[in-house]
Structure 1
Amino acid sequence: MLTFIARRIGAGAVLLLVISLLAYLLLSIPDTDVGRQILGPGAPQADVDARNSALGLDQSVLTQYGQWLTHAVRGDFGTSWFSSEDVSLAVGNRLPVTLSLMVGVTLVTALVSFLLGVWAGVRRGVVDRIVQVLGVAGYALPGFLVTLVLVLVFAVRLGWFPAIGYTPFTESPTGWLSTVTLPIASLSVASVAGVSQQVRGAVIDVLRQDYVRTLRARGLSSRRIVLKHVLRNASAPGLSVLGMQFVGLLGGAVLVEQIFGLPGLGSMTVTYTTRGDIPVIMALVMITVIGVVLVNLAVDVLLGWLNPKARIA
């Protein structure tokens, strides 16, 4: 198992390096005069050239990337070109907001999806059809429409939750919960729809296996068969889809944070991408990739534990 985990960590490190290089090269393609953007159109050309030189933009792209990578591996992502703000500090202040959403959505999706999927796969009939209809509806509805309906009903009309704003957990746990409930719910709808259908299909396939019939013939209760044997063997497809959807959740967080006025990485990404602030964008890219690598590592470890044959891959 340790060898399996070490291989996955090594693959994640290589992925980080490759994506960081590609991202830096792509961000450097636009031929923009950063010094002119910072100092303004009326600044003397000598000042603009000096500014570009101070930022290292007079060097080759590979040299710039090498300098950035040398500092990044030490946790130093530099300073913003436009605001002179420490990038690590700026990202660190916003990371808990987005992390709250991502962890919350992942937990809600895993719990609700497996409950619905197992319920539909075991009961079949009307229950199965209802879960399938809900899954198709949840997947087909646009994310922004679901978000707006949740805000209109539960925040504006009923007043159960605040429509905008964020309360840190350290200030008030109940206030934090009230500010993240609607964003988590809006992001979870499509995720639950996709994962639950995968779990349902896997449960149905496992229930048709010969060994399940043998367990029933031996007199084991249906509850024990489902919880101990069926769920273990049917979890792989759902966990795999859950890991892949993490990337989509990060994209959806941009819209959700804008609507709910959350000071997270999503709104920060929009602001600094429009400026072309490479140090900030690169830090955001790395945080995103690290999150994806960690989630997929956790999924791979779970799959390896559930199915030892998966460790060979």
Structure 2
Amino acid sequence: MAAFVARRTAAGAFLVLVISFLSYTLLSIPDLDVGRQLLGQNAAQELVDAKNAELGLDRPALVQYLDWLAHAVRGDLGTSWFTSEDVLQAIANRLPVTLSLMVGVTLLTAVVSFLLGVWAGVRRGAVDRFVQIFSVIGYALPNFLVTLVLVLVFAVHLRWFPAIGYVGLGESFPGWLSTIALPVTALSVGAVAGVAQQVRSSVIEVLRQDYVRTLRARGLPPSRIVFRHVLRNASAPALAVLGMQFVGLLGGAVLVEQIFGLPGIGSMTVTYTTRGDIPIIMALVMLTVIGVIAINLVVDILIGWLNPKGRIA
């Protein structure tokens, strides 16, 4: 397992390097004329050229990338071209909001989907049909539609939760919980549908195995068979799907944060991408890539722990 983790870490580092180069190259292709955007459309061309030179935009794209990489490996991601804010600080201010959503969605998805999946896999019939129908509908509904319905019902009409805004966890736990409840629910509907269906299929497949019939013949309680033996072996495929759902949530968070007015990484991505602020964009790309690699590595380790036959030496 240690060798596997080392190989995956090395491959992840190489992937980060490749994606950083491709991202910087693609971002350098559009002629955004950042200097004029900063100084205004009526600024003299000499001032615009001087501003571009100050930002290093008069150099070849490869030179700009190598300079960015040399600073990035030392932990210096530069400053925003438009706000002069330190990039790391700007991300650190917004990251807790998005992490609150991601962790909340992951926990809610894991608990609800495993309960529904096991329930449907063990109790065939009406329960199974209900879970399958819910999975199809939940997976098909777009995030923006679910989000709008939740806002109209629970924020506008019932007024149980605020429609927009965010309260930090350090400021007030009830306030924090109320501001992330609807966004987390909106993002969880599709995720729960996908993972629950996978759990159901895995549980049904494991229940058909010979060793389960042997355990039943030995007189073990059904609950012990399901939760100690069946669920452990059925969890590996579901964890893989849960990991993919977590990665997909990064895209859904952009829309949800915009609708609920949350100052997170998703809304930050939209704002700074439209401006062409390369230092911020590159930092967000790297954060996303490293997050995806880390999640996949954690999922692989968990699958190896749950299923010894799948462990890689």
Give the TM bin, normalised by the shorter chain. Answer: over 0.9
CA deviation profile, 1:211-256 (whole Å, cap 9, x unmatched): 1111111222211111111111111111111111222211111111
**How far is the alpha carbon of 1:105 from its aligned partner?**
0.4
Which ranges of structure 2 fall in alignment gaps of 5 or more residues?
Answer: none
CA deviation profile, 1:7-34 (whole Å, cap 9, x unmatched): 2222222221121111111111112322
Check the 8 A contact 1:4/1:311 in 2, yes or no: no
User: Does 2:105 correspond to 1:105?
Assistant: yes
Q: Alignment partner of 2:267: what SS?
A: helix
Instruction: State TM-score, norm by structure 2.
Output: 0.97
**How far is the alpha carbon of 1:6 from its aligned partner?**
2.0
Task: Output the CA distance in 2 between the equivalents of 1:32 and 1:186.
Answer: 35
Task: Output the CA distance in 1 between the equivalents of 2:11 and 2:233.
Answer: 26
Which residue number corresponds to residue 232 of structure 2?
232
Task: Output the CA distance in 1 between the equivalents of 2:309 and 2:68.
Answer: 40
Which residue number corresponds to residue 127 of structure 2?
127
**How far is the alpha carbon of 1:309 from its aligned partner?**
3.4
CA deviation profile, 1:141-178 (whole Å, cap 9, x unmatched): 12111111111111111111111110000010111001
Change (3 A) 1:118 1:233: same
CA deviation profile, 1:118-162 (whole Å, cap 9, x unmatched): 110011111100000111111111211111111111111111111
Task: Output the CA distance in 1 between the equivalents of 2:4 and 2:232.
Answer: 20
Write the mapping of 1:187-202 to structure 2, written as runs, cut at 5 A: 187-202=187-202
Which residue number corresponds to residue 23 of structure 1?
23
Which residue number corresponds to residue 177 of structure 2?
177
**How far is the alpha carbon of 1:200 from its aligned partner?**
0.5
Which residue number corresponds to residue 247 of structure 1?
247
Task: Output the CA distance in 1 between the equivalents of 2:77 and 2:16.
Answer: 15
**How far is the alpha carbon of 1:95 from its aligned partner?**
0.5
Which residue number corresponds to residue 274 of structure 1?
274
Task: Output the CA distance in 2 between the equivalents of 1:89 and 1:118.
Answer: 43
| Residue type of the alignment partner of 1:233 | N
Task: Output the CA distance in 2 between the equivalents of 1:202 and 1:258.
Answer: 36
Q: Which ranges of 4 or more aligned residues in structure 1 deviate by more than 4 Å?
A: none
| Residue type of the alignment partner of 1:117 | G
User: Does 2:173 correspond to 1:165?
Assistant: no
**How far is the alpha carbon of 1:98 from its aligned partner?**
0.5
| Residue type of the alignment partner of 2:131 | V
Which residue number corresponds to residue 289 of structure 2?
289
CA deviation profile, 1:43-74 (whole Å, cap 9, x unmatched): 22222222111111122212111111121122
| Residue type of the alignment partner of 2:27 | L
CA deviation profile, 1:257-305 (whole Å, cap 9, x unmatched): 1111111111111111111111011111111122212211211110111
Check the 8 A contact 1:77/1:88 in 2, yes or no: yes
Which residue number corresponds to residue 149 of structure 2?
149
**How far is the alpha carbon of 1:115 from its aligned partner?**
0.7
Instruction: Report sequence identity in percent.
Output: 75
Which residue number corresponds to residue 260 of structure 1?
260
Task: Output the CA distance in 1 between the equivalents of 2:253 and 2:31.
Answer: 30
Check the 8 A contact 1:98/1:266 in 2, yes or no: yes
Which ranges of structure 1 fall in alignment gaps of 5 or more residues?
Answer: none
Which residue number corresponds to residue 76 of structure 2?
76
When the two structures are aligned, how many residues end up with a matched partner? 313
